[in-house]
Amino acid sequence: MNFDRLNDYVESWPPWVFFMTTAAVALVALAALGILIWTTYKAIRDATNSKLEIGFAVGQTVVTVVIIQGVYEFFHKILNQPTLEAALVAVSFESAVWVSVGFIFDHARRTVALVVDGQTVIGEDGQPKMVHLTGWGMAAAPFWIFILSGGALAIIGSGNVKVAVGRAFIIVVGVTLWFMRLKRVTHRSNRRSRFAYSPMRLAERWGWYEPAPEQQVDENREWKIAQLTRAIRLMNSEKKRHKGKGKKLLTRLAESTTPDVLRAAQHRYAAVYALEEEALITSPVMVATIEAAKTTSTAIAEILQHQAIAAAAVAGGQVPKQLDRGPDRSSDRAPDRAPDRQRDRVDPDTKARDKQVGSISDQAAKDQLAARTILMIVQREMEKKLGEPVEYTSWDDVRGAITANPDVISINKIEALSKTSGCPMGKPKITRRILPDAEKLHPLPDDLEIQAAAG
């Protein structure tokens, strides 16, 4: 900053302007000093450890001045920014650090309900047990970014090596003071960092840090299995660079996991390798799957066609209801519609009886469709589990498969899958009504033999 030019500019002011400006600056300085003294007095009065508060305030004041001055010199001298802009940037860096600290303090004061295994823990007073949030929250990363980048810019902006060394020492002291202060008010989390190259992870890998027993819980087992499977695939590649990358990845992951995860990754890669061959359209598994899909599609189309016809027997010798009740278009002369209208007016019970017969026919067709859908879903899910075509010859076998494999196919899963199979079964829990008497709706080969023998 050119102080000589500033001095000449100030001396050119009229006397009254100089007097008013000096008075305003003095008042602002006195007000700032009064606020600082009152804040310091209140902090010392409320503090349980006055030495801690006074020492921390003095240390952070020095660090703040050094960082603002260093960042200002970096942007003004090295990047040749104007004085005002460089000063604003320097102040904004330190302000961002203090804002991040405020967010961390706010995070440490917040409480949430304690949840264990998905269940909220209830205290002795009947209310959910509240615990403080752990860690530094979302402001942890911005805090380290702003304080380290500001310190680095302050060191780079130094005029010589001696000044740079002094600033580096002061910045290290300031960062250490902030770290101890934040650790004092926040609550430590036992969860490990998810960053593979975090300071703690690197210290563990190099043998400088031994994690606590509660920190050794493997929380990302599925992710490790996927990464190990990828590493095995790369090692089996024909390209040398892929092999080297896979070997490094496999070694790094295997050193920080358990034997069961390694075996699971091997089995998964074996399944993927087998799937690559079975996925071909000419493989026996795909051929059988395609034939089963064709059979199922044909059966569904037939059921839908029968549902459209909706034929059913009518009690008392009545003729089954026909869908097309219009005039016979094949004749040259249309029949007289007056007798039909007269009949409808004279005998209104006929229309109600025909409507009831139609509803019975529709429900029967829906039940047949539901039975075929249940059979299709059970066969498909069991084929996925066994890896080979499955064909049931009796409904007793279907019910036995559902009972013996609740994890693969259950009543609720059938209800859910039926909504995406193209044949929704309508009302909920219809499977429980259809399944016991499915032989009557859609008899299988063995069921037909049993019915024939009983007849």
- Do 183 and 298 fall into the same domain? no
Q: Are 140 and 133 in contact (CB under 8 A)?
A: no
Give CA angle at 265 (263, 268), nearest 5°: 110
Residue 32 domain flag: no
Q: How many domains does the chain have?
A: 3
Residue 1 domain flag: no
Residue 200 domain flag: no
Region 117-129: mean pLDDT is 78
The per-residue pLDDT for 47 is: 60
**Residue 255: how many other CB atoms lie within 10 Å:** 8
Q: 0.85 cut: is pTM over it?
A: no
Diameter over CA atoms, the chain: 125
- Do 247 and 271 fall into the same domain? yes
The two beta strands, 130-132 and 119-120, are: unpaired
- Do 164 and 255 fall into the same domain? no
| CA 377 – CA 434 distance, rounded (Å) | 14
| CA 429 – CA 437 distance, rounded (Å) | 14
- Do 376 and 415 fall into the same domain? yes
Last residue of a domain, one of 231, 262, 278: 278
Structure tokens at 239: 């390209």
- Do 240 and 106 fall into the same domain? no
Residue 17 domain flag: no
Using one digit for the tens of pLDDT, what is the confidence trace for 138-179? 888 899 999 999 999 999 988 889 999 999 999 999 999 988
Q: Supply the DSSP string of 409-442, one letter for each residue.
A: S-HHHHHHHHTTTT----STTHHHHHGGGHHHHS
Most confident of 168-177, 189-198, 435-444: 168-177
Could you list the residue range(s) of the whole structural domain that residue 225 is in?
221-278
Region 264-287: mean pLDDT is 83
Residue 292 has pLDDT above 90, yes or no: no
- Do 446 and 297 fall into the same domain? yes
Least confident segment among 162-176, 313-327, 356-370: 313-327
Most confident of 108-112, 128-132, 153-157, 355-359: 153-157
User: Cα Rg for the chain, rounded, in angstroms?
Assistant: 41
The per-residue pLDDT for 246 is: 86
Region 304-326: mean pLDDT is 46
- Do 170 and 242 fall into the same domain? no
- Do 364 and 395 fall into the same domain? yes
- Do 108 and 251 fall into the same domain? no
- Do 378 and 400 fall into the same domain? yes
What band does 25 get if pLDDT is binned at 50, 70 and 90? confident
Q: Are 171 and 158 in contact (CB under 8 A)?
A: no
Last residue of a domain, one of 174, 191, 208: 191
What band does 421 get if pLDDT is binned at 50, 70 and 90? very low
| CA 247 – CA 253 distance, rounded (Å) | 10
* Residue owning tokens 């961390």: 104
**Is the model more confident about 455 or about 114?**
114
Residue 167 domain flag: yes
Residue 330 domain flag: no
Instruction: Tell which residue, 198, 205, 150, has the closest CA to residue 174.
Output: 150
Residue 397 domain flag: yes
- Do 175 and 57 fall into the same domain? yes
Q: Which amino acid is at 192?
A: R
- Do 185 and 301 fall into the same domain? no
| CA 50 – CA 39 distance, rounded (Å) | 13
Residue 400 domain flag: yes
Residue 413 has pLDDT above 90, yes or no: no
